[in-house]
Amino acid sequence: MAKVSRSPWLLHYDGSSCNGCDIEVLACLTPVYDAERLGIINTGDPMQADIFLITGGINTQNQAVVKQLYDQMPRPKVVVAVGVCACTGGIFKECYNILGGADTVIPVDIYVPGCAARPQAIIDGIVKAVALFQQRSEEHDRLVKEGGKGAAVNG
Amino acid sequence: MNDIVIRIIFVAAYLILAPFIGGLLEGIDRKISARMQRRVGPPVLQPFYDVGKLFKKQVIAVNKSQIFLLMSYFFLTILTGAMFFYGTDILLCFFVLSTAATFLYFAAVMTSSPYSTFGASRELLQMVSYEPAVLLACVGFYLATEVGGHVGSFKVSDIAQADYSAIMYLPGFFIAFVFILTIKMRKSPFDTATSHHPHQELVKGLTTEFGARNLAIYTITEWYENVFLMGVVGLFIINNNPISIAVAVVVLLLVYFLEILIDNTSARVKWMTMLKGSWYVTIIAAGLNLVILMLL
Amino acid sequence: MPEMPVIPFLICFPIVAGLLMFCIRDRKLANAISCISAIVIMAGVGVLVAQWLMGDREPIDLYVDTELVDHIILGAEIFLMGLVTFLCFKYKRYWISLLSIGPTLLVAYAELFGPKVEEAAHIHVDHMAILMCLIVGVIGGLIAIYAGGYLIGYHEHHKEVEDRRHYFMMLLFIFLGAMFGFVLSDSLMWIELFWEMTSICSFMLIGYTRTEEAIRNSFRALWMNLLGGTGLAIGIVYFVYQQESASLSNLVALGAIGQTVAVLPVALIAFAALTKSAQMPFSTWLIGAMVAPTPSSALLHSATMVKAGIYVLFRLSPAMSGNLTGTMIAFIGGFTFLVASFIAIAQSDGKKVLAYSTISNLGLMVACAGVGTPTTIWAGVFLMIFHAISKSLLFQDVGATENAIHSRDIEDMHGLLFRLPKLAIFMFIGIAAMFLAPFGMLISKWSALRACVDAKNIWLVVFIVFGSATTSLYWTKWMGKIISLSHKTGEKLKDMSTIRENASMGIHAVLMIVVCALFPLVSNVFVGPMLVETFGKEDQVLSTAVLVLLVAIILFVFAVPALSYVYGRSVKINRKLSYMSGINTGEDREFTDSFGDSKQLWLSNMYLEDIVGQKKLLVPSQVFSLAVLLVMLSLIIGGVLS
């Protein structure tokens, strides 16, 4: 049971997306793509999630929200920006209220391009994120071993 | 002396095997559910991977007391199962179980998070819905042991060693119990307090604030509880004939399958429908059976 | 035959002390005297119990020839009649006085001109009486101690109420004397007087504040209790005329062997007990009684007075077992248990929840008495003991909390654990004792259920099964409220409770746990022999194996939270904000609203007003139970007459 990569749970947050990417994220769970066969679950609760999936750009309204959701997730965690808006701000980039991509507030690990991102691409991005998740988990374990419990708390 | 050794073996087997059986049952559940939805589904061992991962994550909590309340829930549920498999009073088992459920409620409301408080309120309504049927089932077992001029007994060991299966006298109680089992196992249409993976409402309801290790403890407790509940279902079948054990296993697998089927074919209902439904079924099925048994 | 001078002392001393308290207006002196008197009463009970335990524990009959005392008692009854009539005329409730005049004259006539009753003991001491004395003395004494402290805080923030604490304390003490007299008497004439005394004390205490609501409620309590008293008087006089005896034990003995002459008196006395124990349809007076200051609610309306009705029913139980009266009592009790627990769900006023749960639990005890087998009485007696302790604790605690937070609404007790930790912990213990697994109430409920199954009483099984589900609902949500963090946690409050209040509550909490731990001992020393006395045989409800198991569970259930608490403290955790869709402002108490401002989070319990509210359920269930009562009573009377 050493591999945490077998159980990546997602938190899906819609920033200021046009909902195109969101539909595609949900499509991943349908029988055609069946993301659950990889152990992937869409939890909707940051406390229980490992991978943070953001669609849409960041605006002034949601930047604090995204930050808080990210903070509420227990370590180790990975962030995936889905769709071009979440990556860079996309076609809304020049809008008066848009600050940019998800990486303007939190560190993004994986960028999945596309407008909208296709399910295959999303699943591919998640698979990459899972590998990173595994790597981070091992780092986390090492930290715990080296620094005692305190490291895990602050790490 | 020999008797006690056997009982202790039973308890030890429960303590060690229950999480594996419970986890396995959940894995099979998820696989069958996926197949019913024409999906491939996760591996059968997926629940163990999930729990393993949860233990590896950073320990988080909204409030320190959450851990203490959850641990109490965990141990009291285990105590329930251990008492059951030791063969003691079944009514006491359920009383301890309801105390355990109260601790779960506390763990959820303690945080004062809106979602988990909602879930906890619904959990209370679920408790009110299933409690009558559970207590009546215990009464039914007692009356079943009385048949044939014996002294009535709430003891699990006496019930399991009766000459005939309890279900012969308790079909109504069995129906009521299976009905409320849907609530206890948190299956749709009655999964209002918190739900399993494919379903989602009010974030995660009762368990919203349980992350990482807390969620792992909660999940394992649920496995222990499910095995205990399956034990109660089995108790309806088991008698002093060894073959009945095999029959009991078949019946409880069938019941589990029925729950999965119900889960996948029904939409969630409002709490009032749940309360009314379970009370009506309890009154009609178990109540009628009770009247007949008592008048016999 | 041993002399027991402590008995007349126990009856007379509280009355004298009460009158003394009325005369002393110096507060410090009065407080000291009330404290000392309460301790003397408790010591008196201690002496009585010690003397009893040291002796051979056989039932003792005392005071056979008491002509002078009989006359005094008659005089006292007429005095009470005059008092009630005066008050009824003063407040223009003329017809209620008839309920006092009628029975008193009836009893007086029977005593003066009726047949000469056969010589019999007037005082009867046995296990049940001793147990009741213990409950009345210990809990009543503690409440009297508590009351002195409570009234200080009460009058501090109820400036509008005239300060008549001397009057209040007088009534409390007189009431205690009356209770002792009531449980120790075997003469029905004496019982009648003490019965009326408790009714009138309760009436005057409810009207303490003299607000319109208080007066209305006090008269409601008065007429309902006097109606019961009328039933009692008719039953007694009937029995005196038929049998030329005024002995309760004689009546029960005749009833137990199925003599027709006993049927009517037993039914009427049982009816009186229903009113006193606030069973449907007479439960409204107990709810109304909650307007009185808390000590009176604690003393009269939960711990002791309502237990008088239960006590009479337990005494009568051999005479009710298996006949129509028993069926009536059991049905009304079981029905009350269920309905009152439903209505309690919809209450948010802490005292009202306590009142409804009292009615509900009394219903269960009444039902146990109505079934009238040794096992049900065993369960009923334990219900009574545990209920008395935990209810008294809860009432005192809600009272003290009210003095601090100026509200007794459960919603306002949000996060009480962090604002008034001491009171919250007492409250937690009290509530836990009412329904959680290791505590006595649940064990008693368990044995009550079992006994009802054995007695083949289908209705009661159904009532208990559904009633205990609803009972746990309203308790659990209250407990959850106390321990919740958040919206009020920030406020710091001053604990107003005095040393006397804390002492009383602390002793109650300890007592609760001790009685739970000594459960088997209490069963063997008191309850078992009591059943032998009452029924001539004892049914071992709990086998030794079960008792051992129980103790093990109790230890486990106490140990688990304690150990996990210690463990929980040692674990290093990363604290996270609670989940509010990402708009938690940072303190778990507020969230950002759509204008970008912070808004306070307010969490409320559900009360299901539309489904189980008082408005919806009370009247229909009163009508139903009244109909059942009337039909059954006519059946009983018709059966006797034909």
Give me the pLDDT at residue C406, please: 82
Mean pLDDT of chain C: 83
Total beta-carbon pairs less than 8 A apart between chain A and chain B: 92
C536-560: string of b/e by CB count within 10 Å (b at 16+)? eebeebbeeebbebbeebbebbeeb
Q: Closest Cα to residue C406, out of C621, C115, C157? A: C157
State residue A153's pLDDT score. Answer: 47
B47 and A CB contact within 8 Å: no
Mean pLDDT of C179-183: 89
Whether the predicted pLDDT of B30 surpasses 50: yes
Condensed to tens digits (0 to 9), the pLDDT of residues C39-66 reads: 898 998 888 888 888 877 777 777 777 7
CB B186 within 8 Å of CB B122: no
Under an 8 A CB cutoff, do B109 and C574 touch?
no
* Per-residue confidence (pLDDT) for residue B280, from 0 to 100: 94
Spatial separation of the C-alpha atoms in residues B251 and C459, rounded to whole Å? 32
The SS3 of residue C590 is strand
Read off the pTM: 0.91
ipTM over 0.90: yes
Each domain of chain C, given as residue ranges in start order, spans 1-247, 321-570+599-642
Q: How far apart are CA A137 and CA A152, in angstroms?
A: 11
In 3D space, the residue among C271, C266, C220 whose CA is nearest the CA of residue C625 turns out to be C271
In this predicted structure, the answer to whether residue C438 has a pLDDT above a threshold of 50 is: yes
Q: What average pLDDT score do residues C540-548 get? A: 65
pLDDT band at C614 (very low <50, low <70, confident <90, very high): confident
Give residue C488's pLDDT: 56
Q: Which residues of C touch A66 (CB under 8 A)?
A: 582
The count of other CB atoms within 10 Å of the CB of residue C56 is 7
Residues B228-262: tens digit of each pLDDT:
999 999 999 988 888 889 999 999 999 999 999 99
Average pLDDT over residues C319-344: 89
**pLDDT score, position C288:** 85
CB atoms B109 and C480 under 8 Å:
yes
Per-residue pLDDT averaged across A52-71, rounded? 91
Mean pLDDT of C473-494: 77
Task: List the 463-522 stretch of C: residues with Cβ below 8 A of B.
Answer: 464-466, 468-470, 472-473, 476-477, 479-481, 483-487
A122-138 residue pLDDT tens: 999 999 999 999 999 88
B184-223: per-residue pLDDT in tens? 998 888 888 888 876 767 788 888 888 888 999 999 999 9
- What is the per-residue pLDDT for A155? 38
Cα-Cα-Cα-Cα torsion C250, C254, C257, C259, nearest 10 degrees, comes to 180
Query: What digits encode the pLDDT tens for the residues C466-477?
Result: 998 899 899 998
Neighbours of C29 (CB within 10 A): 11
Contacts 24+ apart (CB under 8 A), C80-87: C80/C104, C80/C193, C80/C196, C80/C197, C80/C200, C81/C105, C83/C200, C84/C200, C84/C222, C84/C226
Structural tokens at position B219: 């999940």
Is the CB of residue B114 less than 8 Å away from at least one CB of chain A? no
Total Cβ atoms within 10 A of residue B64: 15
**Among A80-84, B96-100, C51-55, the range of highest mean pLDDT:** A80-84
pLDDT tens digits, residue range C404-420? 888 888 888 888 888 88
Q: Which residue in the set C572, C576, C577 is minimally distant from A149, CB to CB?
A: C572
CA of B211: which chain C residue's CA is closest?
C576
- The answer on pLDDT for B120 being more than 80 is yes
- In this structure, the number of other CB atoms found within 10 A of the CB of residue C532 comes to 12
Among B36, B44, B49, B214, the strongest candidate for a mutation testing the A interface, having the largest count of A CBs within 10 A, is B49
User: Cβ A47–B46 below 8 Å, yes or no?
Assistant: no
The 3-state DSSP class for residue A12 equals strand
**Is B124's CB within 8 Å of C473's CB?**
yes
Q: Is B126 on the interface with C (CB under 8 A)?
A: no
A94 membership: H or E segment, kind and range: none
Q: Hey, are the CB atoms on B71 and C573 less than 8 Å from each other?
A: no
For residues C316 and C191, the answer to whether their CB atoms sit within 8 Å is no
Per-residue DSSP letter, C249: H
Chains in touch with B (≥3 Cβ pairs < 8 A):
A, C
The per-residue pLDDT for C143 is 85
Structural element, H or E, at residue C436: none
Confidence of residue A2 (pLDDT cuts 50, 70, 90): low
Nearest alpha-carbon partner for C352 in C432, C407, C277: C407
Tell me the C-alpha distance between C306 and C298, whole Å: 11
What integer pLDDT is reported at residue C86 of this predicted model? Answer: 85
Place of tokens 């399910």: A119
Residue type, C635: L
Average pLDDT over residues B52-65: 86
**pLDDT category, C486, cuts 50, 70, 90?**
low
Domain count for chain A:
1
User: Is residue B16 predicted with pLDDT exceeding 90?
Assistant: yes
Is residue B28 pLDDT above 90, yes or no? yes
Pick A72 or C488 by higher pLDDT.
A72
pLDDT tens digits for range C233-273: 998 888 888 888 888 888 888 888 878 888 888 888 999 99
Q: Name every chain B residue with its beta carbon within 8 A of the beta carbon of C612.
A: none
Residue C443 has pLDDT above 50, yes or no: yes
Give C2's pLDDT tier (boundaries 50, 70, 90). low
Other beta carbons less than 10 A from residue C119's beta carbon:
9
**Structural element, H or E, at residue A19:** none
Banded pLDDT at A152 (limits 50, 70, 90): very low
- Tell me which residue range forms the domain holding A33: 4-154
Over the stretch C502-527, which tens digit does the pLDDT of each residue have? 888 888 888 888 887 777 778 777 78
Judge: C436–B106 Cβ closer than 8 Å, yes or no. no
pLDDT of the residue at C571 = 76
pLDDT of residue C545: 66
Binning pLDDT at 50, 70 and 90, where does residue A67 land?
very high
A&C contacts, CB < 8 Å: 34
Give me B272's structure tokens: 């009032």
Task: With CB atoms and an 8 Å threshold, state whether C577 touches A72.
Answer: yes
Query: C583 and A65 in contact by Cβ < 8 A?
Result: yes
Q: What are phi and psi of C254, to 5 degrees?
A: -65, -40
- Per the CB < 8 Å rule, is A64 touching C581? no
- Give the model's pLDDT for residue B134: 92
- What are the helix (H) ranges across C162-208? 165-184, 188-206
Average pLDDT of the residues in C154-168: 79
Q: What is the pLDDT of residue A54?
A: 93
- In angstroms, the CA C234 to CA C241 distance is 11
